[in-house]
Each structure stands twice: as C-alpha cells, then as structure tokens.
Amino acid sequence: MIETAPQEKESGLYPIRTVSNLTGVNPITLRAWERRYGLIKPLRTEKGHRLYTQGDIDLINRVVEVLNKGIAISQVKPYIDQREPESPAQSPWLSYQQRMLNAIVRFDDLGIDATYNEALSLHPIDMVTSWLVLPLLKTLGDRWAASEGSVAEEHFFGAYMRNKLGARFHHEASRAKGPLLIAACLPGEHHETGILLASLSVMARGYRIILLGANTPLSEIQQPALHTGAKGVLLSGSIKPADKVLSEQLPALVNAVDIPIFIGGQTALQFNSAIISAGAIPLGVDIPHALKRIETEISPASFPS
C-alpha cells in the first residue's frame, strides 16, 4: 500500500529531481531501487508524485557507499541489515566487463548497448564509469599492448561511447539548473570519452556544462568562461601535455579567469605538482573524490534554491 503525503510542499519533503541532484543518483535508478529491491519507500502525493524525507536521502547515500564497495545491488539490503553479503568478487561488475568485452570483440554494438543500459538502470553513472567503463578502457589498452586486441576494437568502443555519452549529455543538459562549468580536453588530447564521462557525473549533481570538446587551446577558454559567468573550468587529459601547456598556458588561464580550474584524468596524476604550481586543482581519476573536491571549491550558494 502506498503511503500518501498530506502536502507536496510539506517541510522536510523533497521531490525526486531534488533528491537526484543531492545524491547524484538518476531518478530512473531511484525508481528501480524502489520497485525492484524495496530499498526506498518514498511518500506519495495525491497525484502519485514521489516525495522523500531526509532519512530517505541519508539511506540513498548509504546505498551508494555500499555499492562503491563492489556489493551487488541485490545484496545491498542484507549488507545494510548486517547480514552476510556476497563478496565484491561476486559482484556484477566483472560480469558486465566481460559481457561488454565479448561484444566489442564481435563488433556487436547492440550487445554493448544492452549491457551498458542494464548497468545504468541500477547504478549511478559515476559508479558505472568507475567500475565498468574505465576498467574496460584499461583492458582494451592492455590487450592492444599485448597484441591480443586491435586498434579497431578501441576505435569501435570509442565511437560507441562518444555517441552514447553525447546523446545522454544533451538529455541531461536540458535538466541541469546549478552552477555553470566550462568543460574541455587539454591541448593535444583528442579522446573525448574522459571529459564526457566527467561532465555527466557533475551534471548528475545538478551542474550545468558548456562542452568545448577535444584538443582545446587554453587561450580559447577564457572568453566563454568570462562571458557566461562560469563558476569553474573542468579539463581532462590522459597524455603528457606539451611543455608550455602546464608551465605557461595554464598559469595564464588561472590568472585570467579567477575561478577554480580543475584537471582530471591520468594527466592530473602524472603531473600533480606542476598543476598545483600553476594554481589549478588536480582531481585524478577517482570520480567520488573529484566530485567532493569540486563541491568544496564551488559555494553551495551558487545553486538555485
């Protein structure tokens, strides 16, 4: 039986879109957790709209913490109830990775799509990125280095991800209402998968994104950042930048825009000290950590009430 909330705007109750922005969990995923696993039991208005309490939000955040340990969604409730769950090694992520790899080797875009959509329906996008997409990209790179795979496999998967993430990006962009970030790849970085994944993760938290794409000269970022009133710049890279990028161009951008400059990806790990010396903020590849760092640098007052 569905419990009905007396008033939709009753103090302490939050609609699903607000809860999604607060927790980073897509509304579709929240509904799946409710219907399929009984993890959350929101109140309902007379018109059937879901309303969540602060306790529900705390529980959702707890679920995300448990999933980040590699526990399968089907085992989250036993885990929270302190019963013995399955081990992370038995979680679905290895299965998802293998299914997608098998589809890539067969150049089967429908097989990739089915697995990716299944993972997204049950888990937040940043978790799918951390536990499925990034490990899979590493596997493809390792296969190529060991002559077990091919450039064609990497390009096939890269093209799939650009199309998939691009479509999702435009869908999410119409919903985001929070602070604006300029997002771009560092000069010399031609692969957009990293910046698209990062953009989608911050958009899931309510941020708006203006995406400039691959191989963006840092001198070209100043104008859109200043003209749009952006609250920060999010850059991504996986390669060694040209010498002047970090030593001259990045400090010049930091001084010109006077807003936080975040840099994620392998470049941020390999050149951490140089990025800090330039006045920018290295994020690395850990998405939950990166999101928390962005939130500490951008005032909550920047979000609409």
Best CATH choice for the domain 14-82 from the list 3.30.450.20, 1.10.1660.10, 1.10.3720.10, 3.40.50.300: 1.10.1660.10
Q: Which residues contact 286 (CB under 8 A, 6 or more apart)?
A: 130
Q: What percent of the chain has pLDDT over 70?
A: 90
The predicted pLDDT at position 6 comes to 45
d(CA 184, CA 196): 9
pLDDT digits (tens, 9 = 90+) for 81-113: 765 444 444 468 888 999 999 999 999 999 999
Domain boundaries defined on the chain: 14-82, 91-169, 175-302
What is the DSSP secondary structure assignment for residue 241, as one 8-state letter? P
Between 33 and 124, the more confident residue is 33
Give the predicted TM-score (pTM) of the model: 0.64
Apex 284 CA angle, 281 and 288, nearest 5? 100
CB count in 10 Å sphere of residue 147: 7
Taking the CA atoms of 296, 298, 300 and 301 in sequence, report the sign of the dihedral they define: positive
194, 185 Cβ separation under 8 angstroms: yes
With cut-offs at 50, 70 and 90, classify the pLDDT of residue 10. very low
The predicted pLDDT at position 82 comes to 66
The predicted pLDDT at position 215 comes to 92
The predicted pLDDT at position 5 comes to 45
pLDDT digits (tens, 9 = 90+) for 195-254: 888 888 888 888 999 999 899 999 999 999 999 999 999 999 988 899 899 999 999 999
Residues counted in the chain: 305
Does the 91-169 domain belong in CATH 1.10.1240.10?
yes
Closest by CA position to 52, among listed 40, 67, 65: 40
Tell which CATH architecture fits domain 175-302.
3-Layer(aba) Sandwich (3.40)
